[in-house]
Structure 1
């Protein structure tokens, strides 16, 4: 059949006619293949039809030729229609293309074309999956001047949509978008072919925002679709793709779209990049675009953790003439709750009440619930109950969140009876508590050491469903450990004759958190806690990190440290990687059992596994010792202290400073000498936000004997300076006694920067006197005044050179004279230094060693 329809200028000769006189060879008659069946219902013609004239002559002005050519175009139109009907769409396209390129009058071809047969052929092609061929046919038909939509009815359109869906499911979404772009040019209704969500979801799965943008641009409601694209990428955590779609929306949309702005800001919150939301907001203001209330609310909600920024945005909102709605005030209250600003929350609540009295706003249950939570977190239970009365007076029924916050307010204050009373009121009001609410009540009992009550509450909520299971688990556990007549035969401690009766039963489904709370209620009863963990597995729950950590703590609390560490190691076998809570619990067990070597080993292990210690971890290690016995112990704790500082935590330095001071004072044999003057009980320097003393000690103790022996006392008080000097001397002493390291050079002590005319009664003079007294009188070391050094690195003049040669008394007298002459402002700053001779240090170390041996 292909041989019949290939027509071109090179293959079609001009036929011989009587009124034309050319010397061309006559063309052979065109004989179609009589064996080819165009239609199974029509037998072949008994005689071949005469060939049509070449298409190059179909535009002849002769009326006779026009008539004959029309007949032949009709022939080709019928032939093309038959081919299309049989699903031979490529052959149909070839004939149509030949008519187009020949320059013939396509309207005659089109008028003879059977649209019904072509549409039928398109349906056949779609059923066979020939979408590309169908698109090519539509392209040729459109070039002929026929609207492609005329070839489609409802069923054909449905077939096309189904085929597109199949291609998308195969992962070829880009191919479908390309087809849709072509069909959009044919005025097809793209939105009816396939659900927009299917295309966008496929683009999001492929992380291809540009393809999603292409699709949005071919739809009439692209302004809505852009927001959907941004949101879908945001749900996947792909902020980069969401921002790509946002930037594209600004180029394709005709004007500001607040819905798009609000969506991209919400997505910044979903992806945790609140700073990007601020940049978007600032960009809107630069473009003189005033956000609406919904954009402002989204911005404040995303940045709710930063109260100062929220108040700044709220002020800008008012300046721009955008009035708050109830959601705005709810977000402000939420920010106050997160910041712990009860006072500001009260002011906002009073403002909202005033607006409600004027009929401007109407407080909703979310407002009341948020303000209740503010008071609950601050343990102001009475004020929280007062808000409850306001709710009831306003005709607003508390929801589950409000009731839970009220119960938490009393629970945080240790008022278990009041919390249980509120729980009963909640049930009477017809509000069904969720598991979180029940867990709050159980935790309140555990925190107040009412363990038996917690178990009885749990049993009353579960009915009799769990008692048999618990007993069975316990029997197996007792058999496993060979326990007879154990007091934990009913691990929950429930008396079957003592059930709490509630006014209305409610469905209660315990969670892992529920069992974790009950495990804490086991105290030091390891078998009871283990039975609860087994019960979790029976009811289909999986123990988490907290469950294992509690079990480790319970086991360690019973004195069984070996088994506690074994449980810690068993976590990996259970498929749970120990986290910071598990490590901290194991470290705590080791510290309580005075196995400090293992505790510090676990600390190093968790850091090797890239698990960041928390505040509890650091404090547990820093308070592990009540005294220091060696240099290694001091260096170890100081290393933990510095690591804690670098991690951003602010420890209380008082405890560590006391222990280090006690260790340092051990250098002096007679601890009673001058003890009162430097007693720890009367130090004004303790409790600084950042302890310069500990940093100085850590810096000096990290040096080895081969390094420059310089002690820096700048910025320290006389008590602090004493401790630093003693710490270095203690280090020398232990290194000498343990490793035989001797002192190889003099020790230089830098006292601080001062004017050459400083009064002897000033701060630096006090430090100098205290250190000289310590070294000479208490330790018997030889101390000399080292020459001053220009602190500003200026050229020394003759006067400063002269000072370096004066004795201590002469230097003091000269400074007083210069002060009287008031020329201190013209003198350079100098660094005052003391020198402890190597010879005296070596003798002191040998003497100390001899005293120890004796």
Structure 2
């Protein structure tokens, strides 16, 4: 047989240099190849590739004369082909993959069909060499060689057996553990191009989880795009970011996925809308609908509409608009659409609309268009239950049973809740028994609803009897199961029961019969409800907390707050406050509810000082008071005795306003007015105006300006020059502010501080509006009468001062209404002038005389003791 001479042509070096990869390339020189072959063949054996130089720039005549008859090759030709295949296989086995690729290239260049040469290669040896290179860390060198043989027409998958594929899997896991997700995805892209199954390398869910944990949506979408059913994986990526509440990454994944879609994909639109709802950003869901769908003339399907309506269920008007859009676009609503509409009505409390929808779906059911499901019935029942329309809720139950739909747990719970909220405890228990008889196992929430109904109806014993029956059934079954495997069957199981005892409990047999066949697992809420049923029995409530711990439950803030409230019921202020410390020792930091409850206990026992000290303690611990906290403190007193008490309450009032809370100021205004009128209680003058602050029509308006004015003046230092600003106040409100300042002056004078200056009273800017001018005159007259005739103070007109930012008004405080009307008739485009501010002055001398006359009265009032001790 004539020997075959394979010469490395110029194409060998050029093709070798084009191999892409991360490892260093080996030069394709003939010496390197011959050196490798000398290691394969024994010494003295003629290497088939060593007889001629392997690199030439033109095909030699000898190589041209070699003819390969593939269809009918002689036995000698087949032997030569197999010989070169053995050479290549042994090179690969030894990890010489570059040389292996060179042999394959030279054989193919010589005219051998790649498939024919691949058929005689020893795949197990090649795969063994691939695994060896992977173990040695030459990953990208392997990729380089596999890409080269792919270009030559030999399948890379065909060169890998199961062991080589397992090596590739291990390499994928290694890269994933290193955290280089970009390298991992790049490697999988290469394997996908070779035809390997990417799902077999690593589970897609594992790779997606790694990308989500790394907050890398681009890599996640890039990986998903190389897998079959990429659209579904895009949705998975978006949803996984949504579960992490990472809306930003979810939107990046959504944007990246759109670049890989050939057209609109409703699954992806629905996924990103659901994620918007999960992350609480309903506005972005609307942007997707309007910008990505409607503006692109894409008609959403019913599932996208349902997701959009569900996310925006809190906005009844918007989802009804979406419902109309569905109809206009010809998208038929399904049962889920109507269920979401009913849900929105439930959230908005619109019973009328819910009834209309219910009638509509009932009509559609009679025509065969829809079939009402248990969700529809349960939702409409909950609508009526929340509105306390228990009769209508029971009527819906009858409708669903007539339709052959069995109520589920949500339906029964809503029905029981409806009756319980309406105070119908007997009916609620009857429904509970009917639910158990129907084979629907109640959950603990449903049992808690029934217990709460009993407590609200003050049927405390009944609540405990129900709890005993449920707990005994659970413990009895547990004992029976335990005793069935115990040799000692003569033990008395009832002796092992450890439950809360209450008097007048029913017999054990009746309780087991009533309990039915359901498992009852009490929760913290269960014990909290029972603690409320303890009334003022502190020790019984404390025993319940201990039982709670014995069953593996930890008392929460509500539990401790209820215990504090129980102390208040027995007027034990000291124990109520001590519980706050006990909470911290138990590892539960008191919250705003616990502090507010303790403050209510102090207020109820008229321990003002302790109540306000608890409020200050809250602020030190950076616990933000709520509206109940503020209201409790502001309504603590029925009267004020000193300036300090008024300043204390006004400071709390201002803190409440700064925190964004609004309350009815009427009660506080009356207390301030009563305190202010104390200035007049020991004066001889008894004028009709003294009763003016009691006029509810004047001070009962929802205005906070008067309180802000009083607070502003009472916080000033006594040594400052006093200027009482009465602008925008009525005459009654102005009277209260002036009296408040005088009361402050009296109390400070009694403490040894003297008057330093005159008092100026600012009545307001002279406006051109007749109503405002008339109001200023009324305030001036009322204040003048108060100071001169009721208090005996000297009041002088101080003369107007200018306010440059105001429109020009009258030139003096005595300007007549006729002259003002003349000013109003002037051209509105006249030049603006500085406005005149009207003022009154109370002289320092008259203030000193008045204070000296009332010194004895002040001392008497300050000598009244305050009750700040524990009750």
- TM score, norm. by length of structure 2: 0.82
2:495 aligned partner: none
Contact 1:746/1:836 (8 A) holds in 2: yes
1:476 aligned partner: none
Say whether residues 1:445 and 2:434 are aligned partners.
no
Q: CA deviation at 1:422?
A: 1.0
1:326 aligned partner: 335
Contact 1:714/1:753 (8 A) holds in 2: no
1:702 aligned partner: 715
Say whether residues 1:612 and 2:624 are aligned partners.
yes
* 1:392 equivalent among 396, 401, 420: 401
2:190 aligned partner: 182
Could you tell me how far apart the structure 2 residues matched to 1:728 and 1:409 are? 55
Could you tell me how far apart the structure 2 residues matched to 1:753 and 1:326 are? 68
Q: CA deviation at 1:542?
A: 1.9
- Which runs of structure 2 are paired with 1:374-523 in the superposition (5 Å)? 374-463=383-472, 492-493=502-503, 495=505, 497=507, 499-500=510-511, 501-502=513-514, 504-523=516-535
* 2:606 equivalent among 567, 588, 594: 594
**Secondary structure, aligned partner of 1:56:** coil
Could you tell me how far apart the structure 2 residues matched to 1:565 and 1:31 are? 94
When residues 106 and 239 of structure 1 are mapped into structure 2, their CA distance, relative to the original with a 3 A threshold, is farther
Q: CA deviation at 1:509?
A: 0.9
Which structure ranks higher in relative contact order (CA pairs < 8 Å, sequence separation ≥ 6)?
2
Greater CA drift, 493-502 or 338-347: 493-502
- Which runs of structure 2 are paired with 1:700-849 in the superposition (5 Å)? 700-705=713-718, 709-738=722-751, 740=753, 742-751=755-764, 754-755=767-768, 762-788=774-800, 793=805, 800-801=810-811, 803=812, 808=814, 811-812=815-816, 815-816=817-818, 819=821, 823=825, 831-849=837-855
Could you tell me how far apart the structure 2 residues matched to 1:550 and 1:759 are? 54
When residues 383 and 68 of structure 1 are mapped into structure 2, their CA distance, relative to the original with a 3 A threshold, is closer
Could you tell me how far apart the structure 2 residues matched to 1:555 and 1:30 are? 95
Contact 1:772/1:783 (8 A) holds in 2: yes
Could you tell me how far apart the structure 2 residues matched to 1:733 and 1:523 are? 47
Greater CA drift, 198-207 or 436-445: 198-207
Q: CA deviation at 1:401?
A: 0.5
| Uncovered stretches (5+) of structure 1, i.e. residues with no partner | 1-6, 13-26, 470-487
**Secondary structure, aligned partner of 1:530:** helix
When residues 742 and 681 of structure 1 are mapped into structure 2, their CA distance, relative to the original with a 3 A threshold, is closer
2:865 aligned partner: none
Could you tell me how far apart the structure 2 residues matched to 1:349 and 1:379 are? 18
- Which runs of structure 2 are paired with 1:195-594 in the superposition (5 Å)? 195-284=203-292, 285-463=294-472, 492-493=502-503, 495=505, 497=507, 499-500=510-511, 501-502=513-514, 504-594=516-606
Contact 2:599/2:615 (8 A) holds in 1: yes
2:864 aligned partner: none
1:480 aligned partner: none
When residues 659 and 82 of structure 1 are mapped into structure 2, their CA distance, relative to the original with a 3 A threshold, is same
Say whether residues 1:639 and 2:640 are aligned partners.
no
**Secondary structure, aligned partner of 2:280:** coil
**Secondary structure, aligned partner of 1:252:** coil
When residues 648 and 289 of structure 1 are mapped into structure 2, their CA distance, relative to the original with a 3 A threshold, is farther
**Secondary structure, aligned partner of 1:666:** helix
Contact 1:60/1:66 (8 A) holds in 2: no
2:665 aligned partner: 653
Greater CA drift, 302-311 or 254-263: 302-311
When residues 299 and 631 of structure 1 are mapped into structure 2, their CA distance, relative to the original with a 3 A threshold, is farther
Could you tell me how far apart the structure 1 residues matched to 2:306 and 2:701 are? 41
**Secondary structure, aligned partner of 1:322:** coil
Q: CA deviation at 1:167?
A: 4.3
Contact 1:759/1:816 (8 A) holds in 2: no
When residues 212 and 627 of structure 1 are mapped into structure 2, their CA distance, relative to the original with a 3 A threshold, is same
Q: CA deviation at 1:783?
A: 2.3
1:63 aligned partner: 62
1:96 aligned partner: 101
**Secondary structure, aligned partner of 1:628:** coil
Contact 2:92/2:100 (8 A) holds in 1: no
**Secondary structure, aligned partner of 1:203:** helix
Could you tell me how far apart the structure 2 residues matched to 1:324 and 1:104 are? 66
* 1:121 equivalent among 108, 118, 129: 129
Deviation by residue 1:150-172 (Cα, 9 ceiling, x = unmatched): 22356654553455345435644
Contact 2:91/2:100 (8 A) holds in 1: no
Q: CA deviation at 1:206?
A: 1.4
When residues 95 and 83 of structure 1 are mapped into structure 2, their CA distance, relative to the original with a 3 A threshold, is closer
Deviation by residue 1:789-817 (Cα, 9 ceiling, x = unmatched): 566747869xx44x46xxx4xx33xx336
* 2:697 equivalent among 668, 684, 702: 684
Could you tell me how far apart the structure 1 residues matched to 2:289 and 2:351 are? 28
Q: CA deviation at 1:732?
A: 2.7
Could you tell me how far apart the structure 2 residues matched to 1:525 and 1:122 are? 80
When residues 656 and 31 of structure 1 are mapped into structure 2, their CA distance, relative to the original with a 3 A threshold, is closer
Could you tell me how far apart the structure 2 residues matched to 1:100 and 1:771 are? 112
When residues 380 and 765 of structure 1 are mapped into structure 2, their CA distance, relative to the original with a 3 A threshold, is farther
Q: CA deviation at 1:106?
A: 8.2
Could you tell me how far apart the structure 2 residues matched to 1:648 and 1:330 are? 37
Q: CA deviation at 1:713?
A: 2.7
**Secondary structure, aligned partner of 2:514:** coil
**Secondary structure, aligned partner of 2:854:** helix
1:485 aligned partner: none
Q: CA deviation at 1:402?
A: 0.9
2:92 aligned partner: 84
**Secondary structure, aligned partner of 1:714:** coil
Q: CA deviation at 1:606?
A: 2.9
Contact 1:747/1:838 (8 A) holds in 2: no
**Secondary structure, aligned partner of 1:839:** helix
Q: CA deviation at 1:358?
A: 3.5
When residues 526 and 291 of structure 1 are mapped into structure 2, their CA distance, relative to the original with a 3 A threshold, is same
Could you tell me how far apart the structure 1 residues matched to 2:476 and 2:795 are? 79
Deviation by residue 1:46-91 (Cα, 9 ceiling, x = unmatched): 64547242221385231357649999998775333113234x2xx2
Contact 1:336/1:344 (8 A) holds in 2: yes
Q: CA deviation at 1:695?
A: 2.6
Q: CA deviation at 1:439?
A: 0.3
When residues 468 and 655 of structure 1 are mapped into structure 2, their CA distance, relative to the original with a 3 A threshold, is farther
Deviation by residue 1:439-475 (Cα, 9 ceiling, x = unmatched): 0000111111111111100111112666999xxxxxx
When residues 853 and 407 of structure 1 are mapped into structure 2, their CA distance, relative to the original with a 3 A threshold, is closer
Contact 1:408/1:440 (8 A) holds in 2: yes
1:479 aligned partner: none
1:23 aligned partner: none
| Uncovered stretches (5+) of structure 2, i.e. residues with no partner | 1-7, 14-29, 69-76, 479-497, 861-871
Q: How many residues align?
A: 796
When residues 818 and 372 of structure 1 are mapped into structure 2, their CA distance, relative to the original with a 3 A threshold, is same
**Secondary structure, aligned partner of 2:232:** helix
Q: CA deviation at 1:434?
A: 0.7
Q: CA deviation at 1:216?
A: 2.0
When residues 357 and 733 of structure 1 are mapped into structure 2, their CA distance, relative to the original with a 3 A threshold, is farther
Q: CA deviation at 1:563?
A: 2.9
Greater CA drift, 288-297 or 230-239: 288-297
Q: CA deviation at 1:363?
A: 2.4
